A and B are shown apart, each in its own frame.
Chain A
């Protein structure tokens, strides 16, 4: 096996239209400024298409689909078997970047590639096979129409191979179709539809030809020891290890963030059947994780019908459980299997179905869906993937449906991307996170619910300091997604150092609200910057790392503005800003305008355009 020190700095540049390829080489300056993964992927997208970002048809040949690996992949660092997929989203019309923990990343990286840039459109279904020598194009007629599981089986993957595939939802351009690798997904924003529109059924990488070694081995070893120690002893991580992300359900019941009846109620006693603890017992759960994982949030379980299934993640449990008034986790497991096989995002599917149920209830739109009857959900999910009957319309997502029929006030999305299963009335900072995140209603932009409701680091119903914390977490998390490692390592990396860990909560709450910037310095993300420094040999301090995250966020924001994003899209649905009373004790609406205004000030965004100024872009070294 050959060895690469640092990273290869080589992307495979594919043109599907004429079935050719060449090599794109990354400039050292770009690696330093954009870190890899998400950052470098955005940089490449921008450089190639900056003059016509608005004109790009997301489902046309001119859109780019970029698979981007980070420098951490294949080094043995914890939770590092991840890759990022980027494109212009057909759901939002803006940039979407999604992280996935499947085997494709490691296979492509150890084939010697830091990523794959795919342009053009094949004239017939095709499988792209990549190895250290380049790319080959194979006809994929026999795979077209197959589910994600069967497709991967039919590809006969060897132990050195990993694939990224789409299911029927991607082929039929469901606007929230995803990309599957192993049993993990690059879930959001319709990346699968972009792949389907390119007639690209699968990308298969054959790796294990290169090994990677850090340029500064001693620093790497030291950082690795620290990272492992923090991850192993963190309490929140332990909860995820035992109960998966469904550990969030119990917090959600107590704090009132679990969504009920299309986010109307925030509470139903039946939700206890959906907790991670209840499901661990019911299904005798086992770990089923990404490679090189040390958090171990992924689980599988033994269902009463005799099938061993992947346990759905919290978002799926929330949106296909209490949010549609279903308290039977067995059904969610079955629906999750259907959606995974069809290759579609469970968050957007759940949000769209809940909207259709409420619209039907209010007589706005005729539907066979109802909060009282779930017998037809399996059929509807297949109809969505195949764009049959009512499914053809549901495949467009809740924003388009509400624009057509009305009911925008209860279409639970931000910028067209359906909001995840945390009601922001229980967690105002998390509401700001949804509203201003470049991608739209994704929970992982800054995931403030973890600091507000799970770790109890800051008051949940206060606007003080929230804009500062959202900006801070966005920058650090974007850095993490560029390295890249799993965002769930951040709980431990950021909060295990002694100061935040042992400081009394009431003092911490005052500090995070009144002195947000100073209290951010109590957190320690030097593990991440040190990993980058050790592997690449490029000096990277905590400040450099956060600054790179900021640069990447602002580049993405600038790209979104060029694509037509308006500042009024940085908001939440009326349900969260006007409907105060729910079945959860206490009334709350999210004062979103106040927090967004503050966020704009901190970010230096122009309230008229919604993006960074030319001066700001210049200061960050972004050409425009």
Chain B
């Protein structure tokens, strides 16, 4: 199952730009299409859509949400073991390690590109050390 585009779509292309895995295609002004093989069900397309034209995997319309209110990962540095699994799991390339020069014990993951984060939560799922929580950043 994946997200899908409803008849409310006007082809504004906002979702195309928001999708981190290039799963959405379509001509401007026409109804777009989500490729289920590529869709990672992050919901970014739905939260950005001005028409409420995206349906989730249960067929429910996704509510629009201002980007500044999207929950994003907060790294709890004391718990982070610098395993880098969150960095490699992130489909949007938003996470990174603090520095290659720091020692293994000092290094930690950081949200380097918050604007790229799509709130998919894959980083939380990948972390085995309870070092990531999703929160709305101030």
Contact = CB atoms under 8 A, between A and B. Distances in A.
Please determine whether chains A and B interact with each other in the same assembly: yes
A208 B36 CA distance: 11
Contact of A289 (B41, B83, B103): B83
A1 to B, nearest CB: 6
B104 A286 contact: yes
A326 interface: no
A286 B128 contact: no
A584 interface: no
Interface in B105-124: 107, 122
A293 interface: yes
A74 to B, nearest CB: 10
B134 to A, nearest CB: 16
B20 to A, nearest CB: 8
B85 A289 contact: yes
B40 A286 contact: no
Given A1-B1, A76-B125, A78-B128, A288 B84 contact: yes
A208 B85 contact: no
B89 A294 contact: no
A439 interface: no
Given A241-B81, A291-B85, A293-B83, A160 B128 contact: no
Per DSSP, chain A at the interface is loop
A362 interface: no
A289 to B, nearest CB: 6
Contacts of A286: 82, 84, 97, 100, 104, 107
A82 to B, nearest CB: 14
Contact of A287 (B82, B122, B126): B82
Contacts, number: 59
A292 interface: yes
Contacts of B104: 242, 280, 285-287
Nearest to A206: B37
Contact of A296 (B81, B91, B126): B81
**A: interface residue count bin:** 20 to 34
Nearest to B89: A291
Contacts of A2: 1
Contacts of B107: 286
Contacts of B21: 158-159
B38 interface: yes
Contacts of A289: 83-85
B83 A287 contact: yes
A63 B83 CA distance: 38
28 contacts: A1-B41, A1-B57, A76-B125, A78-B128, A158-B21, A158-B37, A159-B21, A159-B40, A159-B91, A159-B122, A160-B38, A160-B40, A206-B37, A208-B40, A208-B41, A228-B128, A242-B104, A284-B101, A284-B103, A285-B104, A286-B100, A286-B107, A287-B81, A287-B104, A288-B84, A291-B88, A292-B85, A293-B83
Interface of B: 1, 21, 37-38, 40-41, 57, 81-85, 88-89, 91, 97, 100-101, 103-104, 107, 122, 125-126, 128-129
